[in-house]
Structure 1
Amino acid sequence: MQLFHPKPRYKPYTHAAGGWGSAQSVMAILWREQALQRAPLALMRQNKPKGFACVGCAWAKPGDPHALEFCENGAKATAWELTALRTGPDFFAQHTLTELRTWTDYALEQHGRLTHPLRYDASTDRYVETSWQQAYQAIGSHLRQRIPDEVVFYASGRASLEASFMYQLLARAYGTNNLPDSSNMCHESTSVGLQESIGVPVGTVTLADFEHTDCVFFFGQNVGSNSPRMLHPLQEVRKRKVPIITFNPLRERGLERFVNPQSPREMLGPESTVISTQYHQVAIGGDTAAVIGITRHLLEMDRLATAQGLPAILDHAFIGEHTQGFAAFVAEVERHDWADLERKSGLNRSAMEAAATVYARSQRVMVVYGMGMTQHRHGVENVQMLVNLLLLRGNIGRPGAGICPVRGHSNVQGQRTVGITEDPAKVPVDKIEQLFGFTVPPRKGTSTVDACAGVLDGSIKAFIGLGGNFLRAVPDTPRMEAAWTQLDLHVQVATKLNRTHLVPGKHTWLLPCLGRIELDSQDGVVQTYSTEDSTGCVHGWKGTSAPAGEHLRSEVAIIAGLAEATLGGRTRIPWDAWRRDYARVRQAISEVYPEIFHDMETRMWAPGGFHRPLPAAQRQWKTESGKAQFIRPRSLEEDSDVAVGAQRRDVLQLMTIRSNDQFNTTVYGYDDRFRGVKGTRSVVFLNPNDVTRLGLVAGDWVRLRTAVEPEVRREVGPFQIIAYDIPSGCAAAYYPECNALVPLWHHAERSKVPAAKSVPITLHR
């Protein structure tokens, strides 16, 4: 693996998140991307009314924004998109795809924005320039020759509501529900778990709830690197002396201390805000055991309070009126003794009791979580255990309380809302058929894992990608890349070059699109777009910067062009009229989803946007029973079906992580400031005791190998060992480099989210 820095090194980071380190990092990327002229003006309009939505994470956008409503990683995403660097046809004339596959992911994307539509020429192993019309007609011709269910329409999570709505109509009018997306790889466990437990597939917390909460529980989310703007409401919470109780294997700087870069007083002074009042380093896969331990102590406290004639700890009135399954859940909790819970959670009893005690004396509690809970074999149950904890004291359906999943891609939640889903039961089929004059196929389509399996077995023969870096994001990377070349058709809509573009099928096109920050003008009329954030809030936006090239087209325009070339007049969908006027797309969205998007054209421009209906926040439970469900966990074993045996003391549980210098598969640089790593991503973090007992020393180079399914060799490295503050028996290394270690079948039960946060591995010199 190539190293980015000539002298990679590790030095523990002792400063707070934010502060001067954040400011310097932003300036560095603005300089490197040659964006010092364009980006500062754009940043002033980022996440603000009549500005543009950040192309990074999906964290909520306030109605009364700060003067600078962006974070370090949001600024990096903006600089990355507004770079002055370009990757045009002349670049591909000089480089074959075989050569480019030897480049690092960072080097590929760092070369700059794509500028022209391209077609792969197998005879020269190069991309060559083509015209948009030639691309549309050729792709449409190939699609018409295929059986629809042999084709996958993938969406990365960054497309607007308008583009997403059109994309799912294109797929369904074509004849398939093969609409996997990045949600399948991160928060599908949330969608499945919350729907069963409380009747909505998304969280119930809004930004306003942070003003009323009196306790926050944090599970498996690295706010400092993955959604730093969230540190502002957390800081305000802490200024009100509200406790924040964190459960995470690694001690993440953003959950320890924070200096607000927008506060001159804090930047010039010595103080920082302590974020977590309790920090519990739970073992990888031990979260459910920890929540059961907390619940066990709450039950003990409740019984004692009743015996002493004191007010109850649990909200029995809420439980009786609004929930089902409480008795069975209590029986499951009491089946586990403290020794078992300590062993499985990696925490001692007193830690779980301390968390329970603070929870018991708090009246309005929020639970915030990320992919550290969802990307497990029992990811759905992990989510449902957090709901169980909240239900015990009626902490759903009151101000300042509720469940708060933190999403990744900036519109991944929104695209699901407007129909990007493989399950036709989750879309209003009758309205679609009535309005647009085609029959929605009844068969359930492929999720991301199913699509990968189809590529491997040859049943999937064509792949259309609306953004993303699919081959880097999915598990089993070497097997997937080898099979990918057998695709008959491979089309990617993208802004920059990435690894997926370099693994061609038999017929391959690369279609460059406008970025979200750029002005989108259709026939001389500037268009606007909309997105939905993590809190279910829909906002209207507009690009502010000149496009990176005259040949770029918007995602809406590209989808319309592909649809017309593929479908002809088979539907009543006015593709070109929608391209000319995105307001007409929004009108169609409001007709298909009137409960959510009525009066959309007006409401999306209100300060702070508008929230989708969240019945659970009103204590209306859209579950089968009509009540919120206590759901029992079936096992405390993280990998019960792939257990390697207690005698295998050499097996560690690996979690994949993002660095401070990346967003999902996009690597902005090879420094991870908060973890003290500089100049490399080729590292593995281990507990010092594990390093010693395995006969190693910090600084040694090792290869990581998956410890199950020995007939398939899954190995990455060499990685250098860093002795780190991580629970014994656990390991951490970077995503997506370690995706090669994750078997495709190693995914969350029912949601099929790859279980990348808990992979059994062994180390080899």
Structure 2
Amino acid sequence: MSDEPEIKPYKGPAGGWGSVKSVESILTREGRLISGNAVLLKQNKPDGYACVSCAWAKPAEPHPFEYCENGAKATAWELTTKRVTPEFFAQHRVAELRTWSDYELEEAGRLTHPMRWDKASDRYLPVSWEEAFREIGRELQGFDPREVVLYCSGRASLETSYMWALFARLYGTNNLPDSSNMCHESTSVALPDSIGVSVGTVVLDDFEKTDCILFFGQNVGTNSPRMLHPLQEASKRGVPIITFNPLRERGLERFTNPQAPTEMLTGSETRISSQYHQLKTGGDIAAIMGIAKILIETDDRARAEGREPVLDHAFIAEHTHGFEEFAAAARRLTWSELEHRSGLPQAALEAVAATYARAKAVIGIYGMGLTQHKTGVENVQMVANLLLLRGNIGKPGAGICPVRGHSNVQGQRTVGISEKPELVPLDKLKEQYGFEPPRWTGMNTVEACEAILKREVKAFVALGGNFVRAAPETEALEEAWKHLRLTVQISTKLNRNHLVHGEISYILPCLGRIEIDEQATGPQAVAVEDSTACIHGSKGIAKPASPDLLSEPRIVAELAKATLPANPKIPWDEWVSDYVLVRDAIEETYPQDFRGFNERMWQPGGFHRPNAARHRQWKTKTEKANFIVPRSIEENLPDIENDRDVLKLMTVRSNDQFNTTVYGFHDRFRGVKGTRMILFMNRNDIVRLNLEEGGMVVLTTAVDDGIVRQVAGLRVTPYDIPDGCCASYYPECNPLLPVWHHADRSKVPAAKSIPVRIARMAARQPEAAE
């Protein structure tokens, strides 16, 4: 991080030479300039490895360089030549390491040896794998399984996730929170009610057939840059791409393809969004209801006058339920309230409706800008409602497309990582493995946080991730974390969750997906599921960071063997020796989703899980797709509704990070370099609140629940964002997010709409002379 932060507008496109320079910079910094570039040639290829970053779809005919800037950074980050050895821990007490930034912790390098925290010295000391498994197993045996949480990050493979979920249920718990609880659980709750499936209906080929794309709350340039390729191709065909997002994000504006020599040499750019609507934070329901109102009332007039209807009435009659109630609700809304709540004028929404009405096949794309709100479930259902009006689900070139985050966050849910027993084939597991699975509902992420705060959890075992940094209520959670009896982290790199720990704490370092996983039957491969419910194989190709590392499946198997009584029906050792056998077991448990798993996982482009809604088969209670009327078009907390001193804060990722992993301090697209302590504000709000550009401020959560939540030291930075809204980085602003401020029903933390007050920081007083 530089001494003096530099903030100036970035005028370039997404991609381009800025992307190339950024990739080469991190490869150089991690000591992998030559070898890293060679490894990247195998990224997202049918005979290579699946990117460890985002979950965007992987084409059957990949580009020569089928990776993006952030995917390359993730690879360089994992393949770094830097190492965190027992000698490193001997030199640094945990109390000291807690003062390091997230960037400094992970930049230290790859973990190489299992470690156990020693209270007397406040250091992690080396321990043998055998001793680690033995003590962890002994501790787990002494707990009530309801008091134990087994967390899973979104990067674990399908094989590891299946074994993890089975271990949890054999142990007797359904406390299986995961990173999906923090992002797209709103999708998993919303879509089954709307269309009868829990995932999107769009596949990669649909982008070649669509003639209109609606884009809601997803920053493609930072979070899934490979998606810019199909968007660019669509734009060049003249497909309108209509974006709704509070911030103007460069990846949604214009793009220069780093893999196109002509574009790089000439500096040519492709326009991405044909319309860009900067709605208010939390204004999505109002905006979509406004579009729906226009379509419905235009259709009313057309039918009354004998003209061609705007809506697809044949589809609505045959395939949907609840249209009349939804249409009546849209008609009742006034334009004054729709404009006020959405922050968009009627004319803008009329332009959207006109373009949408002309299109024959429309894709609706969305990300966490919709799901991480109190109304997250209804936000998703509103996108489905809009698509259903013109039959845009279940035909080529059309459908709903949630963009998932981590590389297998969707897949792990497919193979049993869920706190909800009704979503898992428990009877099949009982038959398959001869045990009685727990039938009670376990804890999701928010509920796990609540239980930890109440001292009701005794042990937290994490398969990857950086939970205390990703979760809400950071300060209180970290304080409560110290009262856990046992904390275990299966990790590749050092992070804050190793340093905020329980009475007994272990670090179990594992192989990364890019590394060769050599087992008794030879090098192993794993599988992942992308955002389009497509399964892909992945083979590691790099030398492991340390000979002392174990694979994730091996670690899970050894924990299970140390904790559970022997079960002759579960061949843990055989599974570790040959992951083919794990995939056979997955296929037996989930025969419809994984028919011919081992044979099909290497086909170019992967294989798709069945999706009934894609074929207009609606597995809902009504046996039709459902129009669902939102309860309200506003999500503000009632007591701050009319308080103009309260702004809505949305947390965002920088161009130099993925989830909680920070690769550096350069958010190129937003023109920020050398710091992450930034508060992006509308210039009018800066003046109105008597603040100064570049001034330092403190944010306080604007709720009165007896807890003061603050983040200080943020630099006021003017930005193109609507009045009354502001933005700052995640996870730095997680301390402002109350654990109870989450999406209704899904309990996804509402990180995209936190009510805050802003105050100048008091000037530092000169120190008294000695």
> 1:271, 1:585 → 2: CA distance?
48
User: CA contact under 8 A between 2:256 and 2:267: conserved in structure 1?
Assistant: no
Mean Cα displacement is larger for which, 518-527 or 437-446? 518-527
1:41 aligns with: 38
User: CA contact under 8 A between 2:36 and 2:79: conserved in structure 1?
Assistant: yes
Correspondence for 2:726 among 727, 731, 747:
731
> 1:643, 1:365 → 2: CA distance?
39
User: CA contact under 8 A between 1:379 and 1:749: conserved in structure 2?
Assistant: yes
Correspondence for 2:655 among 635, 641, 660:
660
1:566 aligns with: 563
Quote how far apart the aligned CAs of 1:524 are.
Answer: 5.8
SS in 2 for 1:702: strand
User: CA contact under 8 A between 2:191 and 2:381: conserved in structure 1?
Assistant: yes
Quote how far apart the aligned CAs of 1:335 are.
Answer: 1.9
2:640 aligns with: 644
Deviations 1:177-230 (A, max 9, x none): 000000000000000000110000000000000000000000000000000000
> 1:333, 1:235 → 2: CA distance?
34
> 2:270, 2:684 → 1: CA distance?
31
> 1:764, 1:570 → 2: CA distance?
60
User: CA contact under 8 A between 1:437 and 1:571: conserved in structure 2?
Assistant: no
Matched, 1:18 2:11: no
Residue 568 of structure 1 aligns with an amino acid whose one-letter code is P
2:153 aligns with: 156
Identity %: 61
SS in 1 for 2:242: strand
> 1:154, 1:605 → 2: CA distance?
29
TM-score for both structures, normalised by structure 1: 0.99
1:331 aligns with: 328
Correspondence for 1:501 among 492, 498, 501:
498
- List aligned pairs for 1:702-741, cutoff 5 A: 702-709=697-704, 711-741=706-736
Matched, 1:437 2:434: yes
> 1:709, 1:573 → 2: CA distance?
52
2:766 aligns with: none
Matched, 1:357 2:354: yes
2:246 aligns with: 249
Residue 621 of structure 1 aligns with an amino acid whose one-letter code is W
Residue 644 of structure 1 aligns with an amino acid whose one-letter code is I
User: CA contact under 8 A between 2:286 and 2:634: conserved in structure 1?
Assistant: no
2:673 aligns with: 678
User: CA contact under 8 A between 1:38 and 1:82: conserved in structure 2?
Assistant: no
Quote how far apart the aligned CAs of 1:37 are.
Answer: 3.3
Matched, 1:695 2:695: no
Quote how far apart the aligned CAs of 1:571 are.
Answer: 6.0
User: CA contact under 8 A between 1:246 and 1:276: conserved in structure 2?
Assistant: yes
> 2:388, 2:274 → 1: CA distance?
23
1:417 aligns with: 414
User: CA contact under 8 A between 1:528 and 1:541: conserved in structure 2?
Assistant: yes
> 1:736, 1:335 → 2: CA distance?
40
> 2:635, 2:676 → 1: CA distance?
27
- List aligned pairs for 1:248-267, cutoff 5 A: 248-267=245-264
SS in 1 for 2:490: strand
Residue 142 of structure 2 aligns with an amino acid whose one-letter code is Q
1:389 aligns with: 386
1:202 aligns with: 199
Mark the runs of 5 or more structure 1 residues left unpaired by the alignment: none
Correspondence for 2:369 among 365, 368, 372:
372
Deviations 1:483-525 (A, max 9, x none): 0000001000000000110012011100000000000001261
User: CA contact under 8 A between 1:329 and 1:630: conserved in structure 2?
Assistant: yes
SS in 2 for 1:731: strand
SS in 2 for 1:643: helix
TM-score for both structures, normalised by structure 2: 0.98
> 2:750, 2:346 → 1: CA distance?
27
- List aligned pairs for 1:476-487, cutoff 5 A: 476-487=473-484
2:582 aligns with: 585
SS in 2 for 1:376: coil
> 1:740, 1:709 → 2: CA distance?
15
- List aligned pairs for 1:585-604, cutoff 5 A: 585-604=582-601
Quote how far apart the aligned CAs of 1:570 are.
Answer: 4.2
Quote how far apart the aligned CAs of 1:41 are.
Answer: 1.3
Residue 396 of structure 1 aligns with an amino acid whose one-letter code is I
Residue 236 of structure 1 aligns with an amino acid whose one-letter code is E
SS in 2 for 1:690: helix
- List aligned pairs for 1:4-403, cutoff 5 A: 4-403=1-400
> 1:395, 1:31 → 2: CA distance?
46
> 2:216, 2:287 → 1: CA distance?
11
User: CA contact under 8 A between 1:154 and 1:466: conserved in structure 2?
Assistant: yes
Quote how far apart the aligned CAs of 1:270 are.
Answer: 3.2
Mean Cα displacement is larger for which, 664-673 or 327-336? 327-336
Matched, 1:764 2:734: no
Residue 311 of structure 1 aligns with an amino acid whose one-letter code is E
2:616 aligns with: 619
Residue 24 of structure 1 aligns with an amino acid whose one-letter code is K
> 1:712, 1:205 → 2: CA distance?
43
Residue 758 of structure 1 aligns with an amino acid whose one-letter code is S
User: CA contact under 8 A between 1:438 and 1:571: conserved in structure 2?
Assistant: no
> 2:47, 2:597 → 1: CA distance?
16
> 2:394, 2:641 → 1: CA distance?
43
SS in 2 for 1:393: coil
Deviations 1:260-315 (A, max 9, x none): 00001000113200000000001000000000000111012112222332211000
1:552 aligns with: 549
1:468 aligns with: 465
- List aligned pairs for 1:528-547, cutoff 5 A: 528-547=525-544
Mean Cα displacement is larger for which, 190-199 or 703-712? 703-712
Deviations 1:364-414 (A, max 9, x none): 000000000000000000000000000000000000000000000000000
Quote how far apart the aligned CAs of 1:710 are.
Answer: 5.1
2:522 aligns with: 525
Deviations 1:590-644 (A, max 9, x none): 000000101100011111110000100000001011000000000122134x531
> 2:30, 2:4 → 1: CA distance?
22
> 2:674, 2:616 → 1: CA distance?
50
> 2:211, 2:521 → 1: CA distance?
51
User: CA contact under 8 A between 1:682 and 1:718: conserved in structure 2?
Assistant: yes
User: CA contact under 8 A between 2:516 and 2:544: conserved in structure 1?
Assistant: yes
SS in 2 for 1:616: helix
Residue 505 of structure 1 aligns with an amino acid whose one-letter code is G
Quote how far apart the aligned CAs of 1:39 are.
Answer: 1.0
Deviating runs (4+, > 3 A) in structure 1?
none
Mark the runs of 5 or more structure 2 residues left unpaired by the alignment: 761-770
> 1:62, 1:497 → 2: CA distance?
33
Residue 36 of structure 2 aligns with an amino acid whose one-letter code is A
SS in 1 for 2:733: helix
Residue 699 of structure 1 aligns with an amino acid whose one-letter code is G
> 1:196, 1:147 → 2: CA distance?
35
User: CA contact under 8 A between 1:173 and 1:571: conserved in structure 2?
Assistant: no
Deviations 1:677-709 (A, max 9, x none): 010001100000000011112111100110002
Quote how far apart the aligned CAs of 1:562 are.
Answer: 0.3
User: CA contact under 8 A between 1:705 and 1:762: conserved in structure 2?
Assistant: yes
- List aligned pairs for 1:454-465, cutoff 5 A: 454-465=451-462
Mean Cα displacement is larger for which, 179-188 or 630-639? 630-639
- Give the aligned CA root-mean-square deviation in angstroms: 0.8
